[in-house]
Chains A and B, each alone.
Chain A
C-alpha cells in the first residue's frame, strides 16, 4: 500500500476523499506574482537552460516585462486570450512569462500544430492576437488578428523608455486556455483561472517538494498542461529549468544520457517515456509520472533509495492534476489521494445525470471537487453544464462544484483511488461490458510490460480485444505467458486474443496514446480467427469443433486441454449453441449437449464428435444393384404376374361364369344358378386364403432374419409370397379370433387370446406374439423392407399383454416387452424396444410413462366353450356377410338379362366383341345402380334389424357387445367392396348416416377407417381427408372401449391422421397430415396440431381469395354437377366389370357348352389378365384425356377440375391398383407404369407403394427406395382448396415405411428417412442426412 500522501480528515461525507485542507495554499495571486517572487528572491539563479544558453531569473523577469509592456501597449487586457505558437526554447518560455506578466491568458499550441487548428481555437476563444516567431509569422498572414513575433516583442527597447505595467489583476481572470479534442470533432477550450493554477502549483509542490536546488527537465509541449508542472512549479520554487531540445525529447538513448550529463534532478514524464530510457539517470531524485496509466514494472525499475516517484492524475478541467500517489515498488499503482484542498468522489454511472454517491469499493465515475476546477468550457455552456455540476455534498469552502471526469474509478478501502479507464472506454464484447482500463491495469502489472493499450478491434467481422504492448527495454515478452497470467485474473472474455508488440506507441501531441492510430494499424501476421496460441486441428472432427469454438469465442485460443466451461467460459447456453452448430454437419449429427457436459475438454469432445455411430456412416455411398440383376428379377416377376392377376380375376369371374352357365337356357333354375354361383364364390374366397398359405410355404419357405441382396433370389421368393398373401381378403378376419389362425398358418408364433384388428405383415415367419396381446387397426408390421440395396428381414416380438394401438408401425428387429404399450400413430424403428410396462408414443417412439395396470379391470377369463362358440360365430358370420354382399349382384344380372331379352338398345347389337362390350356397358348402368342401391339398403337393413345401437362404454372382448360391434364393422367392410366408389363423393355423408353416424351439412369424407358409426359425430362443413383412422374402438387388456368421437364445425383432419377413440375436436381445428390428435383438454377452437406427438402451431396460413361458393357453400348447380360426375364414377367401374363379364361369358359359353374346359379356363385366364391390364390402360387414357399434365396449381373444391381429378384418382385407386398395379409393387415395372401416367421416376427405383396421385408432380431420382405405404403427397386440401405441387425425391434416397413427403419439399440425394417420417411442405432434407420423426427432424 502506498503511503498516504496526506491524512484525510473525514468531513461532511465519509465516502468523499478530501485532500489535506490547507487554506494557506489559496492566495490572492496570479502567475506573474509567483515568477516575480522567485526572481526577487534570487535573481541570479539560473532559470532557463537551453543548449548553451542560459537565462537567470532576473533576466527572465526583465525580458518578460518587455514582452508584457509591448502587449499592454498593443491593447491586450488582463484576462484576454492570446495565442502562443513557437518552437520550444527559451523564447517560448519568455513569451509565456510575458503574457503572464501582462495579466493575460495564453492559448498554447504545439509548434507542429497546423495553422487551421490554431485559427479554429483562436476564433473560438475570441483571441486578441497571436504570439509567435518570425519564422512562423508568414503562415499567420490570414489569421485576422494581430501577430506579435518574439523578435519584435523582445527587441531591445529604446533607452530610457518606460515599460507599461499591468494594473491590478484579479486572480479570477483566465490564466490559460487549453484546447482538447471534443467527441464531436470540434476542439473544446478549457479555461483555467489564475487562482486555480496558482493554487494547484502550491498544492502539488506541497507534496512534491521541488526546491530551488532542483534542475527540472522541461520536455512537455506547452500545449499540454503537464508542462505547468515542469515550468511553473519550477518558477514557484525558483528551480532551474533544463529545456530539452526537440530532437532528443523522444530519444531513448540520448535523452537519459543528457539528463544525466546535465544532472537533472526532477523529471516530469509520461510513463512510456521513462520506460524507454535505456539507462539509469542517477541524478534524478524526483520522478513525477502522469498522463497515462503507469505500469508497475516501471516503478520496480526506477525506484531507488533517495528517489521519490509519484503518479499524478488529473484532467485539464481540474487544473493539471487532482490526485497524487507516492509510488513504491511491490505495491500496486493507484492514482493516490487528492491533492491538498482537492476532493475526489465516485458516483453511480447508471444514476447519471442524477448524482448518487457510491461508497468505497464500488465502481463509478470519478468526480473532482476543489478550487482547481475550471470555470468551464469556452463558449460551450451545454457541455459545461453537463460536466461541471453543483456539488451536493459541498462542505462550504472551495468545493461548491464538482467536475465529472468521465473516468471510471473505485475508492479502495485504504483510501487510495484506482482509476479504471474511461467510462466511455467501456466496450462491449459479445455482450459483456469490458473496461479496457481494467485490462490495461492488469497487463501493466506483468513483468516486462512497459506501456500498454488495449483496444477492441473488429477484424474480419469478429470483435476481439487486442493488446498493444511496448515491452521494457531489452525484454522479450511471451504472448502465451501474458495470456495465461491474465486468464488467471480476468474473466475469459476480457483476456485479449492478440498481443501486438510495439517499438513505441503512437502519441498525440498531448503525449497520450493515439488509440485511433493503433486501431488503424493492421494486425500482424497470424490469421484472424486463429490465435497463435491455439492448437492446430488434426482431424476433421477437430476442424469442425475448433471452427465452431472460434465462432462462439472469438479470439480465444482453442487448446485441446482447455475445459469448455472453466477455460473458455462456456455455460449451458453456449453448450447448446455449440451442439446445434456442430449438428449442422450431418457427419456430426449424433453430438448432443450431454456429450459436451460429460467430456468438457475440447480434445475429448472432438473424440466423441469423431466417434460417429455406425448408422451415421451408412449414409456414405453405397452401390446400387446392377441393372442386369434388376431386370432379371423383373422378368421373373413379370412371369409370375399373369398368374397372380388371373387368380384375382378368377375370384369374380368364376362365380360370374357359373351363374351364366346355369342360366340362359329355358328351364334353368335361377335359384340353382345362384346357389352354384355363391358356392363357387365362397370356394374362391376360401381358396384365396389357401393359395396364399400354400404359396407362401412353397415359394418362400421359412425365411430367416437377416439381409439379402435386392433383386436376388431370396428377394424374389419373398416378393412372390408377399403378393400372394396380400391378395388374400384378410380384412374379413379382422377383429376375430380367426386372424390369429391365419397368422399361424403363415408361420407366425401367436399366443393365446390374441386379438388383432387389421395389420400388414411382411415377413410372417419373423413375428412372435405372446398371450393376451391386443393389436389395433391398420397396424403395420413392416418387418421386411429394402434399404440401401438390401432386403432386411427382422424379427418382431410382442410380449404377453402387450398392446399395439392403431396406425402404429413397427420395423423388423423390434420388441415390445410384457405389458408394453405402443400408442397409435407411433413408429418403433429397427432396434428399438419398449420395455416391460412402459408406454411409448410418437414418431420415433419415445417413453412417455409407465402403463397404469389399474386403469382397466382385470382381464376377464373366458372358457374354452365360449371361445369355440365365438370361433363358430366368426366363421359363420364371415361367410354369411360375404355371401350376403355378393347377393345384390344377381338382381343386376337378372335385370340385364331382362333388358337383353326385351331387346333394349337394338342399335347396339352384334357379334363384335367391342359392340357387345359397349352394349353391356350401357345396359349395366341401371343394373349397377340397382346393385349399389341394394347393397346399401341391405347393409343398413341388416345393421338396424339385427343389431341395436351401440352405446359407448367398456365391454369385454369376449362379450356379445363385442360380437355385435364386430358384425357392424364386417358389414361396413364388406359393403365397401361394392361401395368403395362412395368414398370422397357427395354421397358419402348419406352412407354414413345410413349406418348410424351423425353427419352435419356439407361435410366431406374421403376415406375414414375404423369408424364406429354409432360413436361418430361429424359437424357441419368438416373435412375428413384420405386414410384417416377416425375414432376406432380401443382394445386393450381384454377390454373394448368405445367413446363418442366428435369433429366439430369446420374442423379438418388431414391425410393419414389418427383420431383416437373419444376425441372431441373443437371448431376450426386442423389436425395435420399424418398427425395424431392430442388429448381433448389440450385443444382449443382454432388450433392447428401437427405431428406425432402433436405440437400446437401458433398460426396457419389461411388460403383466402376463393369465394365461398367454390369452397364451403356451393350453388345448387355445382352440387348437381359434382353429384352427376361422382355418380358416374361410382357406377362406372361396376358397369365395366359387368359388361366385361357378360361379354366374356358370352364368348366362352360355346366352349363351355361343349365341355372344352381347358379352353374355357385358358380363355378366362387370358381375359382376366387382359382385364387387369385393361383397367390400368383405361385409367392412363382417362388421366391424359381429362387432366393432361398435373402441374402446380390450386383450385377450390367445387370446380370441375377437382371433381375430375378426384374421379381419376378414385378410378386409379378403385380399379387400376387392385386389379393390376398392386402386383407391380416391388418390381422394376411399377416405376415404368407410373411414368406412363406422367411421373418422372428414375431407373433402379425400388417402389413398394402405389400411393401416388398427381403423377406428373412426382420426381424420384435413380435407385431410391420407397418402402411400403410411403407417399409423395402431392396434393393437400386445406380450407377446401386443392393445392397441388411437386415432390422431389433425389437419388439413392431411402424412405422408411409409412413416410410421407409433402409437396414442394425436396429430399436430397442419399438421404434417409425413418419410418413414419413426415417431411413438411417446402422442407429441404440435406443430402446424406438421416431424418426421422413426425414432423421430420435430424435423427440422433
Chain B
C-alpha cells in the first residue's frame, strides 16, 4: 500500500506522486478558524504545484458536497478533501479524480464496539473484536479513518452502515506522530 508524505505548509512546494499530494497545516484549535486556515493553505499549495497564481485558484465548499476546485473560474476534475483534528489539518489533492482524506487522534473510546457495529459494519467490528486491547485504539482509529476517507472520496456523508463504500485506492499518510493516524482514498488514473 502506498505511503504518502505529508508536506508541511507553508513549506517547499509539494511533490506529486501518482497525481496526489497532501499538505499538513497547523491551525487554530477553533474549528471555524481552522477551516479558513486550511482552505487558504490548500489554495496556495495547489497554486504552487500547478504553477498558477494563488488568486486564480478557488475551492468552493457546499455542505454535504465534496470541495470543488476551479482555476480561473473553470472547474477542474481535481479532487480535494480536508480533514481536521485539534490544532492540525490536512488537505489532500488528486489531480486525476476524486480523493478523500481523514485524520483522527488515537484515543480510548469506551463505546467503540457500538460505534464500530453501527458505522463500520460487521466485518470491521469482528476484526476489531479480535484485536488485542493494547492495539485497539490504533486499529479503531485506522478503521475509522479508512471508512471516512472512502466515504469522502465517494462524496458521501457519514451514515450508519449500509454496505461498504465504493472501492478506491488507499494510501497511508506518514504523520510522524504516533498520536494520530491519517489515510487517503483516491480514484487513480485509469489504466
Interface residues of A (CB under 8 A from B): 431-433, 490-491, 494, 565-566, 569, 571-573, 575-577, 579-581, 583-584, 592-594, 597, 846, 848, 1091, 1093, 1095-1099, 1335, 1337, 1340
- Contact A580-B121, Cβ < 8 Å, known A572-B148, A592-B160: no
A1098:B126 contact, CB within 8 angstroms: yes
Number of A-B contacts (CB under 8 A): 75
Q: Pick 25 A–B contacts, CB within 8 A, sort by A.
A: A433-B86, A491-B28, A491-B29, A491-B30, A494-B29, A565-B31, A566-B31, A572-B158, A575-B158, A576-B158, A577-B109, A580-B111, A580-B117, A581-B111, A581-B114, A593-B158, A594-B157, A846-B162, A846-B163, A1095-B126, A1098-B130, A1335-B122, A1337-B117, A1337-B122, A1340-B160
Complex Cα spacing A1097 to B162, Å: 17
- Contact A571-B84, Cβ < 8 Å, known A1098-B126, A1337-B117: yes
A571:B31 contact, CB within 8 angstroms: yes
Chain A min CB distance to B26 (Å) = 9
Task: Report chain B residues within 8 Å CB of A432.
Answer: 29, 86
Interface flag for B55 (CB, 8 Å) = no
Complex Cα spacing A1091 to B123, Å: 11
Task: Report chain A residues within 8 Å CB of B159.
Answer: 592-594
Complex Cα spacing A592 to B160, Å: 7
Interface flag for B105 (CB, 8 Å) = yes
A576:B115 contact, CB within 8 angstroms: yes
Complex Cα spacing A566 to B34, Å: 12
Contact digits for B41-73, partner A, Cβ 8 Å, 1 yes 0 no: 000000000000000000000000000000000
Chain B min CB distance to A989 (Å) = 34
Task: Report chain B residues within 8 Å CB of A577.
Answer: 109, 111, 115
Complex Cα spacing A1335 to B122, Å: 9
Interface flag for B187 (CB, 8 Å) = no
Chain A min CB distance to B188 (Å) = 20
Chain B min CB distance to A726 (Å) = 36
Interface flag for B32 (CB, 8 Å) = yes
Complex Cα spacing A124 to B14, Å: 57
B118:A579 contact, CB within 8 angstroms: yes
In the complex, what residue of chain B is closest to A594 when comparing beta carbons? B159
Interface flag for B127 (CB, 8 Å) = yes
A1097:B123 contact, CB within 8 angstroms: yes
Contact digits for B91-132, partner A, Cβ 8 Å, 1 yes 0 no: 000000000000011010101001101110111001100100
Complex Cα spacing A572 to B111, Å: 15
Task: Report chain A residues within 8 Å CB of B105.
Answer: 431
Complex Cα spacing A1097 to B144, Å: 18
Task: Report chain B residues within 8 Å CB of A846.
Answer: 162-163
A576:B118 contact, CB within 8 angstroms: yes
Complex Cα spacing A569 to B114, Å: 22
Task: Report chain A residues within 8 Å CB of B104.
Answer: 573
For the residues of A in contact with B, the DSSP-based class is mixed
For the residues of B in contact with A, the DSSP-based class is mixed
Interface residues of B (CB under 8 A from A): 28-32, 84, 86, 104-105, 107, 109, 111, 114-115, 117-119, 121-123, 126-127, 130, 144, 148, 157-160, 162-163
A1093:B144 contact, CB within 8 angstroms: no
Task: Report chain B residues within 8 Å CB of A1340.
Answer: 160
Q: A431-B105, A583-B114, A846-B163 are in contact. List 17 more A-B contacts (CB 8 A).
A: A432-B86, A490-B30, A491-B29, A491-B30, A566-B31, A571-B31, A571-B84, A572-B148, A573-B104, A576-B158, A584-B114, A592-B160, A1093-B163, A1096-B123, A1097-B123, A1335-B122, A1340-B160
Chain A min CB distance to B12 (Å) = 17
Task: Report chain B residues within 8 Å CB of A494.
Answer: 29
Task: Report chain A residues within 8 Å CB of B28.
Answer: 491
In the complex, what residue of chain A is closest to B127 when comparing beta carbons? A1098
Complex Cα spacing A1194 to B105, Å: 46
Chain B min CB distance to A863 (Å) = 44
Task: Report chain B residues within 8 Å CB of A583.
Answer: 114, 118
In the complex, what residue of chain A is closest to B130 when comparing beta carbons? A1098
Complex Cα spacing A592 to B159, Å: 7
Closest 10 CB pairs of A and B: A491-B29, A580-B114, A1095-B123, A431-B107, A580-B118, A1095-B122, A580-B115, A572-B158, A1098-B127, A1097-B126
Complex Cα spacing A594 to B123, Å: 22
Tell me which of A432, A494, A1093 has the highest count of chain B C-beta atoms within 10 A of its own C-beta.
Answer: A432
Task: Report chain B residues within 8 Å CB of A1335.
Answer: 122
Task: Report chain A residues within 8 Å CB of B119.
Answer: 576, 580, 593
In the complex, what residue of chain A is closest to B121 when comparing beta carbons? A1095
Chain B min CB distance to A847 (Å) = 9
B163:A848 contact, CB within 8 angstroms: yes
A1099:B130 contact, CB within 8 angstroms: yes
In the complex, what residue of chain B is closest to A1097 when comparing beta carbons? B126
Task: Report chain A residues within 8 Å CB of B109.
Answer: 577
Complex Cα spacing A594 to B160, Å: 8
Task: Report chain A residues within 8 Å CB of B130.
Answer: 1098-1099
Complex Cα spacing A57 to B29, Å: 57
Task: Report chain B residues within 8 Å CB of A566.
Answer: 31-32
Name B160's contact: one of A569, A581, A593, A1097 (CB within 8 Å).
A593
Chain B min CB distance to A25 (Å) = 40
Chain A min CB distance to B86 (Å) = 5
Task: Report chain B residues within 8 Å CB of A1337.
Answer: 117, 122
Task: Report chain A residues within 8 Å CB of B115.
Answer: 576-577, 580
In the complex, what residue of chain B is closest to A491 when comparing beta carbons? B29
Complex Cα spacing A898 to B148, Å: 79
Chain A min CB distance to B165 (Å) = 14
Complex Cα spacing A584 to B113, Å: 12
In the complex, what residue of chain B is closest to A1089 when comparing beta carbons? B123
Complex Cα spacing A431 to B106, Å: 9
B163:A597 contact, CB within 8 angstroms: no
Chain A min CB distance to B156 (Å) = 11
Task: Report chain A residues within 8 Å CB of B126.
Answer: 1095, 1097-1098
Chain B min CB distance to A1332 (Å) = 13
In the complex, what residue of chain B is closest to A842 when comparing beta carbons? B163
Chain A min CB distance to B127 (Å) = 5
Complex Cα spacing A848 to B130, Å: 29
Chain A min CB distance to B47 (Å) = 24
A569:B31 contact, CB within 8 angstroms: yes
Complex Cα spacing A597 to B160, Å: 13
Chain A min CB distance to B75 (Å) = 26
